[in-house]
Amino acid sequence: MKIAIIGSGVSGLTAAAYLSGEGHEVTVFEQNPDVGGVTSGMQRDGFRWDMGQLILEGFAPGEQVGMIIDELGIRDRLQLSRQDRVYVFPDFRIEKPEEYGGTWWRKEELQKFFPEDKKGLNRYYRYYVRFMELITMARRAERSAGVRALWFKLRLFMKLVPFIPKIKWNADQMMKHFFGSEKLQAAFISILADFTVRPSQFPGLGVAAVNPEPAFDKRVPLKVSSSGYQPSYQFVEGGCRSIVDALVWLISKNGGAIRTGVTVEKIEIVNNRVKGVVLSDGSLHAADVVMASGGAKETFFNLAGREHFPADFVRAIESVPLMESIFMVHIGIDFDPTPWQKSGVTYYYRTYDIEKGVDDIMQGHYHQGEDGLLICIPSLYSPDMSPEGKHAVTVYTIAPDSLRGQSWDDHREAYADRLLQIAEEYVPGLREHTLVREILTPDDFKKITHLEHHAFGGCAPVMGRKGALHQTPVDGLYFMGAQSESGAGINNVMEGAWRAVRLVRKYAGR
């Protein structure tokens, strides 16, 4: 078949890598001059940065993305190393001990901080193990077929039964069920700020999914019980651009084509079936299948036209819950930051009221870093991301897509100064020793992604709401990317592309 893929982000490239290797005639269209979308990163004067923190989930063999990179045969083109992150709160910090304390050291450390919640922590970690068993079984069931799949689904149902009474709980309810201390609750739900989703809207059972123990200590074994596995967290040497380059190499090797600097103006649909894509020069690139990534509204309403879709599908696209954006500052520094921050990724939380912090962002109010920020130093893991003796540093925080009553351009420099000033409370000297500085506001991200609303992680994991489906009512039209995957992230986006590819395979074989 002839397959046209719109967008060369990691989802589009993953789909292209699979399908070009299966003999299809695949062309990827990218309107930017370079491939990769937000995963292409940024570079200047010998420094390289990514567009987020670089500790990626599920890249080990047999894991969520690990199976994909092994199926595609690109593992030898990626240099991976297990890494971890640190959480810093106003009154305590969660940082791995120098001497390994075993799988459950974090529980024991939190019990020291919050002795009144010792029993609650024991109950939480029993739930955590059962949840990891449930997730392990679900992934095995999805990857299986025939009798084996039925067996896994039966076991999956049995694992799910104990969770049924709590299945409608939100994260706030779940945390209050386990813990009395609001500060301890924040230790588990603070990461929801990254998704800009209120704890009262996030599924309670998902709290364990966003708090895997290996994320805090790379020495923690992945096997958590006889039937449960935790995800590993990996750093890709060279940053996310290395993933992009590996996929581009494979697509080229398979005979696929990638056309950059080319804008798709329209998805051509006749009698409820795709015919191809119309390019900015007016030419039609004929295709049997069109796979689009990026914005759901932009794809279905602007490129395809809402008149081609039934009312319930239009409503579903209009109700896709989107995250908010980020304010990001990349700097190159000329000193060693490790006396103050040893980890390449550290979250600095400055409030325990995650509900209010997220609510303010959703209302268009920017906290300028006062509620918290993240400092990422990728050159600690990959020295080639900065000149010798120097370091690449990224400081960012969540921000509203649109400021209420203000313009991002009018405040970009002042906001960057303030964010770095707060960051210097943790790593002194950042501004004084800055050699280069690049600022990215939500408006800048809109230009990079060509989205009307920049959602940093795509679809927000809100209870009762879903991302855009991979299969659409139009014959031969499929959707993928961050706005189809709840919680997004490179791991979910690549897995989502794999699911979309499975649907295309069925379409090709019918």
pLDDT in tens, 16-42: 999 999 999 999 999 999 999 888 889
pLDDT at 418: 98
Q: What angle do CA 104, 53, 196 make, to 5 degrees?
A: 85
Do the domain assignments include residue 439? yes
- Boundary of a domain, candidates 184, 209, 229: 229
Task: Write the CA distances from 60 to 102, 135, 142, 209, 431, integer angstroms.
Answer: 21, 16, 18, 17, 37
Q: What angle do CA 293, 498, 459 make, to 5 degrees?
A: 45
Do 302 and 351 fall within a single domain?
no
Looking at residue 122, the DSSP 8-state letter turns out to be: H
Do 501 and 381 fall within a single domain?
no
In this structure, what CATH number is given to the domain that contains residue 418? 3.30.70
- Boundary of a domain, candidates 176, 205, 229: 229
Is 292:6 a contact under the CB 8 Å cutoff?
yes
Task: Write the CA distances from 202 to 278, 341, 361, 373, integer angstroms.
Answer: 39, 31, 16, 21
Do 491 and 406 fall within a single domain?
no
Convert the pLDDT of each residue in 310-329 to its tens digit.
999 999 999 999 999 999 99
What is the Cα–Cα distance from 118 to 176, expressed in whole angstroms?
A: 14
Decide if pLDDT at 415 tops 80.
Answer: yes
pLDDT at 384: 94
Q: Which residues contact 466 (CB under 8 A, 6 or more apart)?
A: 316, 320, 459, 486
The closest of 417, 441, 457 to 327, measured between CA atoms, is 441
Do 142 and 168 fall within a single domain?
yes
- The residue with greater pLDDT, 82 or 158, is 82
- Boundary of a domain, candidates 207, 229, 251: 229
What is the Cα–Cα distance from 482 to 95, expressed in whole angstroms?
A: 30
Do the domain assignments include residue 13? yes
pLDDT grade for 416, boundaries at 50, 70 and 90: very high
Burial-class residue 410 by CB neighbours within 10 Å (0-12, 13-18, 19+).
exposed
pLDDT at 364: 96
Locate 119 and state its tokens.
């029993």
pLDDT grade for 510, boundaries at 50, 70 and 90: low
Do the domain assignments include residue 70? no
Kindly report the average pLDDT of the chain as a whole number: 95
Do the domain assignments include residue 431? yes
Do the domain assignments include residue 408? yes
Decide if pLDDT at 488 tops 80.
Answer: no
- Provide the residue type at 363 as one letter: Q
In this structure, what CATH number is given to the domain that contains residue 471? 3.50.50.60
Convert the pLDDT of each residue in 259-307 to its tens digit.
999 999 999 999 999 999 999 999 999 999 999 999 999 999 999 999 9
Do 201 and 258 fall within a single domain?
no
What is the Cα–Cα distance from 170 to 462, expressed in whole angstroms?
A: 9
Do the domain assignments include residue 154? yes
What is the Cα–Cα distance from 113 to 354, expressed in whole angstroms?
A: 20
Decide if pLDDT at 152 tops 80.
Answer: no
Do 131 and 113 fall within a single domain?
yes
Do the domain assignments include residue 111? yes
Do 437 and 469 fall within a single domain?
no
- Owning domain of residue 209: 93-229
β-pair partners for 268 = 276
Do 99 and 219 fall within a single domain?
yes
Do 315 and 333 fall within a single domain?
no
User: Side by side, which strands form the sheet with 80-82?
Assistant: 56-57, 233-236, 80-82
pLDDT at 65: 95
pLDDT at 105: 97
State what percent of residues in the chain have pLDDT above 90. Answer: 91
Do the domain assignments include residue 458? no
State what percent of residues in the chain have pLDDT above 70. Answer: 100
Do 130 and 201 fall within a single domain?
yes
Which value, to the nearest 10 degrees, does the dihedral of the CA atoms of residues 444, 449, 454, 459 take? -150
Do 103 and 178 fall within a single domain?
yes
Please identify which residue in the block is written with the tokens 């700020």: 193
Do 282 and 364 fall within a single domain?
no
Total domains in the fold of the chain: 3
Say if strands 93-94 and 273-279 run parallel, antiparallel, or are unpaired: unpaired
